[in-house]
Amino acid sequence: MVERVSIIIKNGIVVTMDNERRVFDRGYVVVDGNRIVEVGKDDPGGRYEAEEIINASGGVVLPGFICAHTHLYGALLRASTWFAAIHPPTDFQQNLQRIWWPVDEMLTYEDAYASTLIAAIDFLRTGTTLFADTFSGPNAIEGVLDEEEKALRKVGIRGLLAFEATERHSREEGIRGLRENERFIKKNNSDPDNLVKGLISLHASFTVTDELFKLAREIADKYNALLTIHVEEGLIDVYHNIERYGLRPIERMEKLGFLGPDVVMAHVVQAIDDELAILKKYDVKVAHNAMSNMLNAVGVAPIPRMLSMGITVGIGNDGYIFDVFENMRATYLLHKVHLRDPRVMPPLKVVEMTTIDAAKALGVEKELGSLEPGKKADIVIIKPELPPTPVNKDTVYGHLVNTFNGRDVDTVIVDGKILMRDKKIEAVDVEKSKEYVHKVAENLWDRLLAKGEYQVDVLRLEKPYWILKRL
């Protein structure tokens, strides 16, 4: 009997990322509705009748890529003219004081919508189908995640959205941030098929009190939600916690009962082995942001050490470059030069960190991250324009990290729906969206330039240090 299904993808190199890491030189994927029905080699024969058949000949078929950590509003700051008016920061703390905290102060609800729209388009066109985002803006808290959701649903990919709670200005601001997360989680997380869900985000332990940590954990436990926090990105996080609490950041979080397998720590650049052992003990996940760490000159996270300990690490972008291939390549290369060892970070491991490992980091490995029967149909087809050497099951991982780029992504399927085919996004007018977002970005830059209190002399000194002392 012939079974009628939605989509059959055939004749491509199928990279399953399943437990056996099977790769088929000529394989197929059968999709019905929003689920994968079958994955195999050669051809499904006459067992299925499909509404649509996609010929992936000359292409590579993979699970949709997953970004473990991002800030969508970072898209609005790319190559900003405002940077020319800033005295160049000399370290991570000055980056926060002179760039990111002033931006936070300026962000509006429209900025949240516009940045989500353009970043989601960028993710889609380069093959990322799920991301975890945190938005930060003290003047756009209540309801801001709905604006991000509206833009994200327009594009059609998956997202985990959160407001980055912080007590940088006041305790009330931190509580408001967590309550916005709670509201959004209550609204969206009960439906397992919802493409847009919420998680809980804290900024970092040097801008968060013990009480806010405990409240975040309480909300997470109540709703079975993920928690994410920036950890030891720069040394200020370490110094503040040692001076204020006599503990390193991860030690402090353990003492507070904050840690667990539902915690995703972004960065973890400055961690020592004792702290890594704590992460392993509680099965805490890590989001590695190699390109952002290089941009901010904070150092190199001990990722090979984490991997050797069995800590789950996914690749993020921290709001910098949204093309997953650039982030994979940076991850692949950075640790080789840092450790002066070309053997570290083999291609397969890097690809795992953007697929099945990133899915584990975000708690969705039972539904996403690999091409397997029963899993959600998030699928990417890559058709490289000019591979210099043959692409086959023996070379495909090497090509993914060394050769391919976002422009090679040809087709993207999310939840069984084709969102991009032949490199054309179907649901959104990309040119009109770009024109609109450019106007929003220019308006943001103008406001930043006009706000005199954000000039370097104020940001460089007393206010941030007074805040840290107060906390």
CATH of the domain at 309: 3.20.20.140
What average pLDDT score do residues 432-440 get? 98
Whether 282 is in a domain gets the answer yes
Question: How far is Cα 360 from Cα 371, in angstroms, rounded to an integer?
Answer: 15
Report pLDDT digits (tens) over 36-58. 999 999 989 889 999 999 999 99
Whether 439 is in a domain gets the answer no
Task: Check whether residue 167 and residue 248 sit in a common domain.
Answer: yes
Task: Check whether residue 57 and residue 180 sit in a common domain.
Answer: no
What average pLDDT score do residues 405-424 get? 98
Task: Check whether residue 213 and residue 253 sit in a common domain.
Answer: yes
Report pLDDT digits (tens) over 17-35. 999 999 999 999 999 999 9
Task: Check whether residue 27 and residue 80 sit in a common domain.
Answer: no
Q: How many CA atoms lie within 13 A of 99 on its CB side?
A: 23
The domain that contains 31 carries what CATH number? 2.30.40.10
Among 346, 338, 394, 411, smallest CA distance to 59 is for 411
Per-residue confidence (pLDDT) for residue 455, from 0 to 100: 42
Per-residue confidence (pLDDT) for residue 51, from 0 to 100: 97
Domain boundary among 409, 425, 441: 425
Confidence of residue 469 (pLDDT cuts 50, 70, 90): very low
Report pLDDT digits (tens) over 127-178. 999 999 999 999 999 999 999 999 999 999 999 999 999 999 999 999 999 9
Task: Check whether residue 275 and residue 147 sit in a common domain.
Answer: yes
Task: Check whether residue 286 and residue 298 sit in a common domain.
Answer: yes
What average pLDDT score do residues 263-286 get? 98
CA 91 to chain centre: 24
Mean pLDDT of the chain: 94
Whether 371 is in a domain gets the answer no
Task: Check whether residue 29 and residue 73 sit in a common domain.
Answer: no
Range of 330's domain?
65-361
Task: Check whether residue 246 and residue 390 sit in a common domain.
Answer: no
pLDDT at residue 224 tops 90 = yes
Per-residue confidence (pLDDT) for residue 192, from 0 to 100: 94
Whether 370 is in a domain gets the answer no
Report pLDDT digits (tens) over 95-139. 898 888 999 999 999 999 999 999 999 999 999 999 999 999 999
Task: Check whether residue 101 and residue 185 sit in a common domain.
Answer: yes
Question: How far is Cα 44 from Cα 167, in angstroms, rounded to an integer?
Answer: 57
**Whether the Cβ atoms of residue 89 and residue 98 lie closer than 8 Å to each other:** yes
Per-residue confidence (pLDDT) for residue 413, from 0 to 100: 98
Per-residue confidence (pLDDT) for residue 252, from 0 to 100: 98
Tokens of 191: 């439906």
Among 139, 140, 163, 159, smallest CA distance to 149 is for 159
Whether 471 is in a domain gets the answer no
Confidence of residue 452 (pLDDT cuts 50, 70, 90): low
Task: Check whether residue 101 and residue 239 sit in a common domain.
Answer: yes
Higher-confidence position of 452 and 336: 336
Least confident among 97-111, 122-136, 239-253, 452-466: 452-466
Determine the residue type at 150: K
Task: Check whether residue 90 and residue 55 sit in a common domain.
Answer: no
Residue written as token pair 């940076």:
330
Confidence of residue 83 (pLDDT cuts 50, 70, 90): confident
In SS3 terms, the chain reads as: CCEEEEEEEEEEEEECCCCCCCEEEEEEEEEECCEEEEEEECCCCCCEEEEEEEECCCCEEEECEEEEEECHHHHHHCCCHHHHHCCCCCCHHHHHHHHHHHHHHHCCHHHHHHHHHHHHHHHHHCCEEEEEEEECCCCCCCCHHHHHHHHHHHHCCCEEEEEEECCCCCHHHHHHHHHHHHHHHHHHCCCCCCCEEECEEEEEHHHCCHHHHHHHHHHHHHHCCCEEEEECCCHHHHHHHHHHHCCCHHHHHHHCCCCCCCEEEEECCCCCHHHHHHHHHHCCEEEECHHHHHHCCCCCCCHHHHHHCCCCEEECCCCCCCCHHHHHHHHHHHHHHHHCCCCCCCHHHHHHCCCHHHHHHCCCCCCCCCCCCCCECCEEEECCCCCCCCCCCCCHHHHHHHCCCHHHEEEEEECCEEEEECCEECCCCHHHHHHHHHHHHHHHHHHHHHCHHHCHHHHHCHHHHHHHHHC
Question: How far is Cα 414 from Cα 154, in angstroms, rounded to an integer?
Answer: 13
Per-residue confidence (pLDDT) for residue 45, from 0 to 100: 85
Task: Check whether residue 98 and residue 111 sit in a common domain.
Answer: yes
Residue written as token pair 């970092």:
204
Whether 398 is in a domain gets the answer yes
Whether 463 is in a domain gets the answer no
Per-residue confidence (pLDDT) for residue 97, from 0 to 100: 87
How many domains in the chain? 2
Question: How far is Cα 280 from Cα 306, in angstroms, rounded to an integer?
Answer: 8
**Whether the Cβ atoms of residue 349 and residue 422 lie closer than 8 Å to each other:** no
Per-residue confidence (pLDDT) for residue 457, from 0 to 100: 35
Higher-confidence position of 60 and 79: 60
Question: How far is Cα 138 from Cα 109, in angstroms, rounded to an integer?
Answer: 11
Whether 99 is in a domain gets the answer yes
